[in-house]
Amino acid sequence: MADIQLEDPHFIAKLRQGDPAAFGQLVKGHHNMLLATARTMLSPADAEEAVQDAWIAAHRAIAKFEGRSLLRTWLTRIVINQAKMMLRKRGREIQFDPTNDPDALAHRFHGDGHWQHPPQHWELSSPENLLTREELRRCMEKHLHFMPDSQRLVLELRDLQGLPADDVCNMLEISASNVRVLLHRARARLFEMVDHFQETGEC
Partner 1 sequence: MLKCQHLVEKADALVDGSPISRRERFALRLHLLMCQHCRRYVRQLRALLGFLPREEKPLDDARTEAILKKLDASRDHQSG
**Residues interacting with partner 1, by CB under 8 A?**
2, 20, 23-24, 27-29, 31-33, 35-36, 52, 55-56, 59, 105-106, 109, 112-115, 118-119, 121-122, 124-125, 133, 136-137, 140-141, 144, 155, 158-160, 165, 180, 183-184, 187-188, 190-191, 194-195
Nearest distance from residue 146's CB to partner 1, in Å? 15
Nearest distance from residue 77's CB to partner 1, in Å? 19
Nearest distance from residue 66's CB to partner 1, in Å? 22
Q: Report the residue number, 12 or 188, with the smaller CB distance to partner 1.
A: 188
Alpha helices in the chain (DSSP H): 2-6, 9-16, 20-39, 44-61, 71-89, 130-146, 149-155, 165-172, 176-200
Q: Report the residue number, 9 or 111, with the smaller CB distance to partner 1.
A: 111
Nearest distance from residue 91's CB to partner 1, in Å? 26
Residue 168 · residue 44 · CB < 8 Å: no
Residue 79 · residue 51 · CB < 8 Å: yes
Q: Report the residue number, 12 or 155, with the smaller CB distance to partner 1.
A: 155
Nearest distance from residue 121's CB to partner 1, in Å? 7
Q: Report the residue number, 94 or 140, with the smaller CB distance to partner 1.
A: 140
Phi/psi at 109 (nearest 5 deg)?
Answer: -115, 145
Residue 82 · residue 171 · CB < 8 Å: no
Alpha helices in 115-175 (DSSP H): 130-146, 149-155, 165-172
Phi/psi at 7 (nearest 5 deg)?
Answer: -90, 5
Q: Report the residue number, 92 or 138, with the smaller CB distance to partner 1.
A: 138
Residue 6 · residue 29 · CB < 8 Å: yes
